[in-house]
Structure 1
């Protein structure tokens, strides 16, 4: 597929709006809507100002609005610092022929920056290539940095024996890591994170079946841990409606898992279902990790908490219906990155930047250079 180049990308100062918690709580003000077509910041606490810095800016790197309805910028959102590239998976793209199934494409966005040696980290040009997933990585969704490439969640197709976790090096064929639970196909693996010991933790809701491209579930909606050194695969958490995003605190003493049961794959919504982030303590028993003390960490202000990540200070970020909502480690909402149309997933880049996936638009937000993701710490 042809590469699209977008040059001379403007950098816009990002408006910061101070929100009075009490006034919002008693209905004096309403701060749940972004009336602008730009990224704006809602600050509930001074701690959020420390993260954004005194002069945050944003850029619209890519947009298909007005030219295509295809949601190319949906999930994964993995930044490869060595190559200054971002990899993103699309939402379902409808087939061009009635006999074909919907598909999902992978976008590779190559970044060209200004002079970082002089303190300018802005992106002035991007090269966007749409890639068909390699064999095995059928209907990709979430992803994470892994060795010199990306570990992708493959939701699988209608055929048995498909789906699971695949490692995709930059210049080699993909490698299957784990594709089944003792002979039973996963439902539709959604998101993944890699612990410091090399073990892989991932979620497995049933969205693929609800979206009519995956077989009927053969397992509950659960969370798994896989050890690639010895093949040990076990369930670490259950009892979810739709387990989705997963992340660790910087010291890996806590695990955060989002439950997006509020919306099902067929598009139906129920406001009484979970749109919740749960926190777990990670403890060792007989030398093995267990998730204990499950508790509600936060409930999304708007929509559902999808992708989730922590910064190096332990603050928790999640893509929601209003953009990216940010809580401190105590579960207090300290700020909201308001993005038109909301954000499914996002990632941290270099020196305080974030890449925000908003379906038809890909945004870049520059915050304080000391604000870094716990996953990469760059």
Structure 2
């Protein structure tokens, strides 16, 4: 009977506390958990220099090393939580002194920290003051704090810099305890934002368009932008193979349109500027200037040049002349054009009167063996553009001439 009464009393107390928690719990953020209700209770540590409190939260949310935002400031959970009633956890929290700033892998990272000048002796329950010029730093154990190492420096104000001389990863689960001593301020320390080694350790990022600074294109053409993203730390540059998310913008969509993949379509004559921006860091951007011109009607012609001044009219017996072809489009040379050469002779010209001594993709060499005397011998060279045989050039009767 007594057991039943005791159980009823406990359940009644539980309901009362549940109601109290619902009514008076304050909204907090605990690590990545937002909007969590919690109760705060004063903690009698009998020292005015340390701001400790109890915190009561729903079960299985808080742990040693958790960072809490509540009561207008930040707190660090310094003790393992214990079960409170059956639905709650109770733990000890300490007010965070400041968010120390470090440059880790080129980025500024803030780590919530408690800075002490004395250590609690668990045997005597008394505090021992540290050696002058040393401090004890307690912070949560996470991926950022695990990147800290010995000799890492940090600023607590514009005139005071420290460096770690020891790091304890094991005494308390979820926490790292660092031992630090005073250090000297350096030229690369940011004394305004309190970031040690900022100037030499911070990363700068650059986005580049590899297509050049300017593009000239025709209407209805498309061009894919090629980007490069790099990271520089202390003058050492690394190319980042995986691009961040990029946004694109055209200054004039009626001239040049660009999609989310960086493909530009040219729709009308005019000029425009394309801007590529790192979405999560808009200060990192780059531009390319676009000029869209009307589509040109091609007018291909072939020019044939001889290695002698009169080589297009005659070849003297015993000599060799080289003929070189050139493709023109509206009078401008087309680079890289290839050609096919065909040599024909007139009916009265025997095949033994000349010989082809060599051909390439752009020229042909012909040697005159003998002339026809009273009966003139003639040959003709037809040059075809290999990509389109409708484009060709034909000579007008080259005479195979005797020496005299």
Higher share of residues assigned strand: 2
With normalisation by structure 1, the TM-score equals: 0.22
With normalisation by structure 2, the TM-score equals: 0.21
